[in-house]
Amino acid sequence: MARPPTGGLVRFCLPMTIRLALLLLAAGPAAAQDLQLRLPLDCTLGETCFIQQYVDVDPGPGARDHRGGPLSYDGHQGTDFRVADREAMEAGVPVLAPAAGRIRGVRDGVPDGTSPTRQDCGNGVAIDHGKGWETQLCHFANGSLRVATGDTVRAGDPLGEIGLTGRTEFPHVHMTVRRDGTVVDPFPAGLWADPPAYEPGGFLAAGFADAVPDYEAIKAGTADARTLPVTAPALVIWVSLFGGRAGDIIDLRITGPAGQEVFASEVALDRTQAQLFRAAGRRLSAARWRGGDYTGTARLMRDGVEIDRIETVVPLK
Protein backbone atom coordinates (compact mmCIF):
# COMPACT_ATOMS: atom_id res chain seq x y z
CA MET A 1 0.00 0.00 0.00
CA ALA A 2 1.23 3.48 -0.73
CA ARG A 3 2.28 5.49 2.30
CA PRO A 4 1.47 9.15 2.86
CA PRO A 5 3.87 11.58 1.18
CA THR A 6 5.57 13.54 3.96
CA GLY A 7 8.44 15.37 2.36
CA GLY A 8 9.35 17.17 -0.78
CA LEU A 9 7.78 19.94 -2.76
CA VAL A 10 5.43 21.28 -0.09
CA ARG A 11 4.39 20.43 3.45
CA PHE A 12 2.30 17.32 3.94
CA CYS A 13 1.96 16.51 7.65
CA LEU A 14 -0.54 18.56 9.66
CA PRO A 15 -1.39 18.37 13.36
CA MET A 16 -4.38 16.11 13.97
CA THR A 17 -6.58 18.98 15.18
CA ILE A 18 -5.94 20.92 11.99
CA ARG A 19 -6.54 17.83 9.86
CA LEU A 20 -9.87 17.23 11.57
CA ALA A 21 -10.85 20.84 11.02
CA LEU A 22 -10.04 20.67 7.32
CA LEU A 23 -12.10 17.54 6.88
CA LEU A 24 -15.06 18.86 8.83
CA LEU A 25 -14.90 22.31 7.22
CA ALA A 26 -14.37 21.17 3.65
CA ALA A 27 -14.95 23.67 0.88
CA GLY A 28 -18.62 24.55 0.45
CA PRO A 29 -20.51 25.09 -2.84
CA ALA A 30 -19.33 28.68 -3.29
CA ALA A 31 -15.68 27.77 -2.77
CA ALA A 32 -16.03 24.75 -5.05
CA GLN A 33 -16.89 27.09 -7.92
CA ASP A 34 -13.35 28.50 -7.63
CA LEU A 35 -11.85 25.13 -8.59
CA GLN A 36 -13.18 22.40 -10.87
CA LEU A 37 -11.02 19.32 -11.27
CA ARG A 38 -10.68 16.83 -14.09
CA LEU A 39 -9.19 13.33 -13.95
CA PRO A 40 -5.39 13.69 -13.61
CA LEU A 41 -4.64 10.66 -15.82
CA ASP A 42 -5.21 9.98 -19.50
CA CYS A 43 -7.17 6.78 -18.96
CA THR A 44 -10.64 5.29 -18.65
CA LEU A 45 -11.63 5.05 -15.01
CA GLY A 46 -12.76 1.56 -14.06
CA GLU A 47 -11.13 0.01 -17.13
CA THR A 48 -7.53 1.17 -17.55
CA CYS A 49 -7.16 3.06 -14.25
CA PHE A 50 -8.70 2.87 -10.81
CA ILE A 51 -9.02 4.89 -7.61
CA GLN A 52 -7.49 2.66 -4.96
CA GLN A 53 -7.39 5.11 -2.02
CA TYR A 54 -9.10 8.29 -0.90
CA VAL A 55 -8.49 10.92 1.79
CA ASP A 56 -8.76 9.49 5.31
CA VAL A 57 -11.73 11.15 7.04
CA ASP A 58 -11.53 9.09 10.24
CA PRO A 59 -10.59 11.36 13.18
CA GLY A 60 -9.03 8.50 15.15
CA PRO A 61 -6.24 6.03 14.52
CA GLY A 62 -8.35 4.09 12.00
CA ALA A 63 -9.02 4.90 8.36
CA ARG A 64 -12.22 5.59 6.43
CA ASP A 65 -12.96 7.07 3.02
CA HIS A 66 -15.66 9.69 2.38
CA ARG A 67 -18.25 6.98 1.70
CA GLY A 68 -17.53 5.21 4.98
CA GLY A 69 -15.54 2.43 3.30
CA PRO A 70 -12.00 1.20 3.98
CA LEU A 71 -10.40 2.61 0.81
CA SER A 72 -7.85 4.71 2.68
CA TYR A 73 -5.28 4.39 5.44
CA ASP A 74 -4.56 6.36 8.57
CA GLY A 75 -3.49 9.91 7.74
CA HIS A 76 -3.79 9.60 3.95
CA GLN A 77 -4.19 13.12 2.54
CA GLY A 78 -4.89 12.54 -1.13
CA THR A 79 -6.51 10.43 -3.85
CA ASP A 80 -4.54 7.62 -5.50
CA PHE A 81 -5.21 6.95 -9.19
CA ARG A 82 -3.51 3.72 -10.21
CA VAL A 83 -2.98 1.48 -13.23
CA ALA A 84 -3.19 -2.30 -13.06
CA ASP A 85 0.51 -3.17 -13.06
CA ARG A 86 4.01 -2.11 -14.03
CA GLU A 87 3.55 -3.27 -17.62
CA ALA A 88 0.70 -0.77 -17.99
CA MET A 89 2.83 1.92 -16.35
CA GLU A 90 5.80 1.24 -18.63
CA ALA A 91 3.59 1.69 -21.71
CA GLY A 92 3.49 5.36 -20.69
CA VAL A 93 0.38 6.81 -19.03
CA PRO A 94 0.26 10.63 -19.19
CA VAL A 95 -0.43 12.55 -15.99
CA LEU A 96 -2.57 15.60 -16.78
CA ALA A 97 -3.08 18.93 -15.07
CA PRO A 98 -6.29 18.58 -13.03
CA ALA A 99 -7.08 22.30 -13.51
CA ALA A 100 -5.54 25.42 -15.03
CA GLY A 101 -2.83 27.17 -13.04
CA ARG A 102 0.83 28.02 -12.62
CA ILE A 103 3.52 25.47 -11.77
CA ARG A 104 4.70 26.35 -8.26
CA GLY A 105 7.30 23.65 -7.85
CA VAL A 106 8.77 20.60 -9.60
CA ARG A 107 10.99 17.71 -8.62
CA ASP A 108 12.49 15.27 -11.12
CA GLY A 109 15.51 13.00 -10.95
CA VAL A 110 14.32 10.53 -8.28
CA PRO A 111 15.24 7.11 -9.69
CA ASP A 112 12.37 4.76 -10.49
CA GLY A 113 11.67 2.28 -7.72
CA THR A 114 13.43 4.35 -5.03
CA SER A 115 12.31 6.46 -2.07
CA PRO A 116 15.11 8.75 -0.88
CA THR A 117 14.88 10.24 2.61
CA ARG A 118 12.37 13.12 2.82
CA GLN A 119 11.29 12.56 -0.76
CA ASP A 120 8.17 10.47 -0.14
CA CYS A 121 6.41 12.22 -3.04
CA GLY A 122 9.12 11.05 -5.41
CA ASN A 123 9.06 13.06 -8.61
CA GLY A 124 6.20 15.54 -8.42
CA VAL A 125 4.52 18.79 -9.37
CA ALA A 126 2.73 21.47 -7.32
CA ILE A 127 0.24 23.70 -9.16
CA ASP A 128 -1.13 27.03 -7.92
CA HIS A 129 -4.71 27.41 -9.17
CA GLY A 130 -5.37 30.83 -7.61
CA LYS A 131 -7.72 31.93 -4.79
CA GLY A 132 -5.74 29.81 -2.35
CA TRP A 133 -6.18 26.52 -4.23
CA GLU A 134 -3.29 24.17 -4.93
CA THR A 135 -2.85 20.61 -6.11
CA GLN A 136 0.18 18.41 -5.66
CA LEU A 137 0.79 15.32 -7.79
CA CYS A 138 3.35 12.67 -6.84
CA HIS A 139 5.21 9.54 -8.05
CA PHE A 140 5.99 10.55 -11.64
CA ALA A 141 8.33 8.38 -13.70
CA ASN A 142 11.92 9.60 -13.58
CA GLY A 143 12.74 11.97 -16.44
CA SER A 144 9.13 12.21 -17.62
CA LEU A 145 8.24 15.70 -16.38
CA ARG A 146 7.39 18.18 -19.16
CA VAL A 147 6.89 21.34 -17.08
CA ALA A 148 9.08 23.70 -15.08
CA THR A 149 8.50 26.09 -12.21
CA GLY A 150 6.68 29.21 -13.45
CA ASP A 151 5.00 27.53 -16.43
CA THR A 152 1.27 28.03 -16.92
CA VAL A 153 -0.91 25.04 -17.74
CA ARG A 154 -4.47 24.45 -18.82
CA ALA A 155 -6.70 21.68 -17.50
CA GLY A 156 -5.71 18.48 -19.29
CA ASP A 157 -2.21 19.59 -20.28
CA PRO A 158 0.34 16.75 -19.95
CA LEU A 159 2.68 17.11 -16.97
CA GLY A 160 4.62 13.85 -17.23
CA GLU A 161 3.97 10.13 -16.89
CA ILE A 162 2.78 7.89 -14.07
CA GLY A 163 5.63 6.17 -12.25
CA LEU A 164 6.85 4.34 -9.19
CA THR A 165 9.05 6.88 -7.42
CA GLY A 166 8.95 7.88 -3.78
CA ARG A 167 7.16 6.03 -1.02
CA THR A 168 4.73 3.81 -2.93
CA GLU A 169 4.20 0.13 -3.63
CA PHE A 170 2.11 0.30 -6.80
CA PRO A 171 2.14 2.50 -9.94
CA HIS A 172 -0.11 5.51 -9.41
CA VAL A 173 -0.34 9.27 -9.17
CA HIS A 174 -1.20 10.66 -5.74
CA MET A 175 -3.13 13.95 -5.86
CA THR A 176 -3.52 16.18 -2.80
CA VAL A 177 -5.82 19.23 -2.94
CA ARG A 178 -5.27 22.19 -0.59
CA ARG A 179 -6.91 25.53 0.03
CA ASP A 180 -4.83 28.09 1.91
CA GLY A 181 -2.50 25.26 2.91
CA THR A 182 -5.25 23.05 4.31
CA VAL A 183 -6.03 19.66 2.77
CA VAL A 184 -9.49 19.35 1.19
CA ASP A 185 -11.13 16.09 0.13
CA PRO A 186 -12.37 16.89 -3.40
CA PHE A 187 -15.26 14.40 -3.26
CA PRO A 188 -17.46 15.75 -0.44
CA ALA A 189 -16.29 19.26 -1.35
CA GLY A 190 -17.83 18.92 -4.81
CA LEU A 191 -14.69 19.92 -6.69
CA TRP A 192 -15.04 17.56 -9.66
CA ALA A 193 -16.31 18.89 -12.99
CA ASP A 194 -17.38 15.31 -13.77
CA PRO A 195 -17.37 13.41 -10.44
CA PRO A 196 -15.63 10.01 -10.72
CA ALA A 197 -17.86 7.10 -9.74
CA TYR A 198 -17.08 5.53 -6.36
CA GLU A 199 -15.97 1.94 -6.87
CA PRO A 200 -15.98 0.01 -3.55
CA GLY A 201 -13.39 -2.44 -4.88
CA GLY A 202 -12.87 -4.33 -8.10
CA PHE A 203 -10.63 -6.26 -10.46
CA LEU A 204 -7.40 -4.83 -11.81
CA ALA A 205 -6.44 -7.65 -14.17
CA ALA A 206 -7.02 -11.31 -14.98
CA GLY A 207 -5.19 -13.98 -16.92
CA PHE A 208 -4.44 -17.65 -17.47
CA ALA A 209 -1.36 -19.64 -16.48
CA ASP A 210 -0.34 -23.30 -16.21
CA ALA A 211 0.32 -22.94 -12.46
CA VAL A 212 -0.49 -20.47 -9.70
CA PRO A 213 1.65 -17.45 -10.62
CA ASP A 214 3.94 -15.52 -8.32
CA TYR A 215 2.41 -12.28 -7.05
CA GLU A 216 5.46 -10.34 -8.22
CA ALA A 217 4.79 -11.51 -11.78
CA ILE A 218 1.17 -10.34 -11.48
CA LYS A 219 2.26 -6.91 -10.21
CA ALA A 220 4.80 -6.73 -13.03
CA GLY A 221 2.11 -7.56 -15.61
CA THR A 222 3.91 -10.65 -16.90
CA ALA A 223 1.80 -13.45 -15.38
CA ASP A 224 -0.76 -13.80 -18.17
CA ALA A 225 -0.04 -16.45 -20.80
CA ARG A 226 -0.77 -15.38 -24.38
CA THR A 227 -1.25 -19.03 -25.37
CA LEU A 228 -0.89 -22.38 -23.62
CA PRO A 229 -0.06 -25.83 -25.05
CA VAL A 230 -2.78 -28.49 -25.03
CA THR A 231 -0.42 -30.49 -22.81
CA ALA A 232 -0.25 -27.79 -20.11
CA PRO A 233 -0.10 -29.49 -16.69
CA ALA A 234 -2.90 -27.28 -15.37
CA LEU A 235 -5.29 -24.57 -16.44
CA VAL A 236 -5.33 -21.77 -13.87
CA ILE A 237 -7.26 -18.49 -13.87
CA TRP A 238 -5.85 -15.70 -11.69
CA VAL A 239 -7.19 -12.26 -10.81
CA SER A 240 -5.73 -9.22 -9.08
CA LEU A 241 -8.02 -6.76 -7.32
CA PHE A 242 -8.19 -3.79 -4.99
CA GLY A 243 -10.47 -3.03 -2.07
CA GLY A 244 -11.18 -6.63 -1.07
CA ARG A 245 -13.14 -6.95 2.17
CA ALA A 246 -13.44 -9.77 4.67
CA GLY A 247 -16.44 -11.86 3.66
CA ASP A 248 -16.20 -11.08 -0.07
CA ILE A 249 -16.57 -14.03 -2.44
CA ILE A 250 -14.52 -14.37 -5.61
CA ASP A 251 -16.30 -16.67 -8.05
CA LEU A 252 -13.84 -18.16 -10.56
CA ARG A 253 -14.93 -20.17 -13.60
CA ILE A 254 -13.31 -21.62 -16.72
CA THR A 255 -15.34 -22.48 -19.82
CA GLY A 256 -14.03 -24.64 -22.65
CA PRO A 257 -14.19 -24.06 -26.43
CA ALA A 258 -17.51 -25.87 -26.74
CA GLY A 259 -19.04 -23.85 -23.93
CA GLN A 260 -18.68 -26.62 -21.37
CA GLU A 261 -17.75 -25.76 -17.80
CA VAL A 262 -14.20 -26.91 -17.09
CA PHE A 263 -13.81 -25.53 -13.58
CA ALA A 264 -15.77 -23.54 -10.99
CA SER A 265 -14.79 -22.40 -7.51
CA GLU A 266 -15.75 -19.80 -4.91
CA VAL A 267 -12.95 -18.26 -2.84
CA ALA A 268 -13.89 -16.39 0.35
CA LEU A 269 -11.71 -13.53 1.60
CA ASP A 270 -10.87 -13.77 5.29
CA ARG A 271 -9.56 -10.22 5.70
CA THR A 272 -9.77 -6.73 4.24
CA GLN A 273 -6.87 -5.85 1.94
CA ALA A 274 -5.98 -2.84 -0.20
CA GLN A 275 -4.71 -5.08 -3.00
CA LEU A 276 -4.47 -8.84 -3.45
CA PHE A 277 -4.70 -11.72 -5.92
CA ARG A 278 -6.37 -15.11 -6.04
CA ALA A 279 -5.94 -18.05 -8.40
CA ALA A 280 -7.58 -21.44 -8.92
CA GLY A 281 -7.89 -24.04 -11.64
CA ARG A 282 -7.85 -27.65 -12.70
CA ARG A 283 -5.01 -30.09 -13.31
CA LEU A 284 -4.73 -31.98 -16.58
CA SER A 285 -6.38 -35.40 -16.08
CA ALA A 286 -6.10 -36.74 -19.62
CA ALA A 287 -3.43 -36.85 -22.29
CA ARG A 288 -4.23 -33.34 -23.42
CA TRP A 289 -6.76 -30.52 -23.26
CA ARG A 290 -9.12 -29.95 -26.12
CA GLY A 291 -7.70 -27.30 -28.44
CA GLY A 292 -9.42 -23.93 -28.79
CA ASP A 293 -10.24 -20.82 -26.78
CA TYR A 294 -10.84 -21.09 -23.03
CA THR A 295 -12.67 -18.31 -21.23
CA GLY A 296 -12.08 -17.39 -17.61
CA THR A 297 -14.73 -15.41 -15.74
CA ALA A 298 -14.36 -13.89 -12.29
CA ARG A 299 -17.04 -12.17 -10.22
CA LEU A 300 -16.50 -10.21 -7.02
CA MET A 301 -19.50 -10.77 -4.73
CA ARG A 302 -20.26 -8.73 -1.60
CA ASP A 303 -23.27 -9.50 0.58
CA GLY A 304 -24.79 -11.42 -2.31
CA VAL A 305 -24.37 -8.55 -4.78
CA GLU A 306 -21.99 -8.61 -7.76
CA ILE A 307 -19.50 -5.74 -7.29
CA ASP A 308 -17.40 -6.38 -10.39
CA ARG A 309 -16.81 -8.89 -13.17
CA ILE A 310 -13.88 -9.56 -15.51
CA GLU A 311 -13.20 -12.02 -18.33
CA THR A 312 -10.03 -13.31 -19.95
CA VAL A 313 -9.42 -15.70 -22.86
CA VAL A 314 -6.50 -17.95 -23.72
CA PRO A 315 -6.09 -20.21 -26.78
CA LEU A 316 -4.80 -23.74 -26.21
CA LYS A 317 -2.84 -25.07 -29.18
Same structural domain, 20 and 93: yes
**Is residue 1 one of the residues assigned to a domain?**
no
The pTM score is 0.89
What's the domain count of the chain? 2
Same structural domain, 22 and 152: yes
Distance CA 76, CA 20 (A): 12
CATH code for the domain of 49: 2.70.70.10
For residue 193, report the phi and psi dihedrals to the nearest 5 degrees: -65, -40
Looking at this protein, which amino acid is placed at residue 268?
A: A
Q: Which of 152, 183, 214 is the last residue of a domain?
A: 183
Cross-strand bridge partners of residue 311: 297
Q: What is the pLDDT of residue 3?
A: 38
Q: What is the pLDDT of residue 13?
A: 36
Closest CA to 224 of 233, 237, 242, 243: 237
Three-class SS state of 23: helix
Q: What is the pLDDT of residue 32?
A: 64
Q: What is the pLDDT of residue 34?
A: 86
Q: What is the pLDDT of residue 275?
A: 97
Same structural domain, 34 and 134: yes
Task: Count the Cβ atoms, other than its own, within 10 Å of residue 236.
Answer: 25
Same structural domain, 20 and 136: yes
Three-class SS state of 87: helix
Under-70 pLDDT residues of the chain: 1-32
Looking at this protein, which amino acid is placed at residue 226?
A: R
Three-class SS state of 296: strand
* Cβ neighbourhood burial of 268 (10 Å; 0-12, 13-18, 19+): exposed
**Is residue 258 one of the residues assigned to a domain?**
yes
CATH code for the domain of 244: 2.60.40.2550
Interacting residues of 288 by C-beta distance below 8 A, sequence separation 6+:
230, 231
Report how far apart the first and last C-alpha atoms of the chain are (Å, whole number). Answer: 39
**Is residue 2 one of the residues assigned to a domain?**
no
**Chain centroid to CA 2:** 10
Same structural domain, 76 and 213: no
Distance CA 13, CA 272 (A): 26
Q: What is the pLDDT of residue 1?
A: 38
Closest CA to 279 of 225, 219, 211, 232: 211
Q: What is the pLDDT of residue 189?
A: 96
Containing domain of residue 141, as a range?
Answer: 16-183
Looking at this protein, which amino acid is placed at residue 173?
A: V
